[in-house]
Each structure stands twice: as C-alpha cells, then as structure tokens.
A and B are shown apart, each in its own frame.
Chain A
C-alpha cells in the first residue's frame, strides 16, 4: 500500500520569500511522484512530476522538487513566491502499472503581501 504525508497543513510566507512544502511517502513498490496545485473552486493542476532520471525536477510557475529515495521525500520548493501562489498544494504518488493517484492531505500556502 502507498501513503503520503504532508507534514504542514498550513504555510504562511511573505511575498518574495522562499518556501518549501514537505512531502514524505511510503510504499512497498516503486512509485512515481507528483505535486498538484488547486486554486479556489478549481480542479487540480499538475506542477511537476518525477518518473525517473534526475532527482531534481523543475515544474511550472518556478517550482521545483527533489526526489530523495533514502529519505522517501519529495519536497517542493520555490525561491521567491508571489501572491498568485496562494493555493492548496497536494503531493501524490502513483504506483507503477496503475493510473490512480494517492494524495496527501494538502498544504495551504498563503503568501502575505
């Protein structure tokens, strides 16, 4: 079975400051890792994904994440946040050979002007 833990339910950060949203996972099989963003009253949008290869993954809107197999982590980072980054962020895993995603409980990022 797979599980995803997002350690912080809420993260307030000042505009133009860096941010890190933490994600840890557990799985008995190989998984692929994803970060999604959800703006109010909208569906989920893929920020980035790790399937294989380089452990540093760059996504949209200036976000990046690093896959750390030994620590089973996939933390999301942005060097300088904008007001428009205020949203809910979800870490998710998908086991190889399947299409369904297992999501973490989400982290609400609030950017303070």
Chain B
C-alpha cells in the first residue's frame, strides 16, 4: 500500500512570505504528526492531528499552524517566514494513538527561506 506522501518535496520562499505544506497519510490512518528537522535543533515535534482535531502541540510560535481534513490529509502553514524556518518538515501518520501503533514517516518537504 502507498506510503505517506508529502508535497511539494522542495520549496524556496522569501523571508516574510507564507507557505503551506501538504501531507497525505497512509490509507486508513487517522493520526498525522508534523516534525521540523534542522541541523541545529534536530528533530522537533510541531503538532499532531487526529480526526480533524489538534491533539498535541510542540513548543513553536503561533506562526506555525496546521489542520486536518475529513479524509485525514493534513496541511501545515507557516506565516511570515524567517530564515530560521529553513528545515526539512516531516509528516508521520499512524492508525491512532494506541501504544502499538507505529508512526510511518514521509520523505519530507525541504523548505529553504532566503
């Protein structure tokens, strides 16, 4: 079955602009989590959505937001981009929040802010 897909794979934006990234989870998965990966800060949790509701949020400013649609697809938005937002953004999906459910990661979207 198809894995987690993220679009676009690469993106270049200018400081001050906003950006929307998309994630399509594995079919049947209802939980989607987003992570930011940078060389300096490593992998950091952004937020998690389950059945269109944000269940958990990491320690990021309000410029970072997300949503989940009824088909479990998720988008994250970053407004007023800063140079430090340059990162690989990873999406992970799982069936739910039960202990045994594994999270499957997508290939990521590499965002470069100039």
| A interface with B by C-beta (< 8 Å) | 32, 36, 41-46, 49, 51, 90, 92, 96-106
Complex Cα spacing A96 to B105, Å = 20
| Residue in chain B with minimal CB distance to A99 | B97
| Residue in chain B with minimal CB distance to A44 | B105
| Interface pair B105/A45, CB less than 8 Å apart | yes
- Out of B44, B90, B94, B105, name the residue touching A99 (CB < 8 Å): B94
| Interface pair B103/A101, CB less than 8 Å apart | yes
| Interface pair A90/B43, CB less than 8 Å apart | yes
Find chain B residues with CB under 8 A from A49 CB.
102
Complex Cα spacing A32 to B105, Å = 18
For residue B31, CB closer than 8 A to chain A, the reply is yes
For residue B26, CB closer than 8 A to chain A, the reply is no
Given the known interface contacts A41-B107, A99-B94, A103-B42, the answer about A46 and B102 at a Cβ–Cβ threshold of 8 Å is yes
Query: What would 11 more interface pairs be, CB under 8 Å, given A32-B99, A99-B31?
Result: A42-B107, A43-B90, A46-B104, A51-B99, A92-B43, A98-B56, A99-B48, A100-B56, A103-B43, A104-B42, A106-B43
Residue of B4, B45, B56 with highest tally of chain A CB at under 10 A = B45
Residue of B31, B42, B58, B104 with highest tally of chain A CB at under 10 A = B42
Find chain A residues with CB under 8 A from B94 CB.
99
| Interface pair A100/B33, CB less than 8 Å apart | yes
Find chain A residues with CB under 8 A from B102 CB.
46, 49
Find chain B residues with CB under 8 A from A45 CB.
105
For residue B63, CB closer than 8 A to chain A, the reply is no
| Interface pair B45/A100, CB less than 8 Å apart | yes
| Interface pair A105/B42, CB less than 8 Å apart | yes
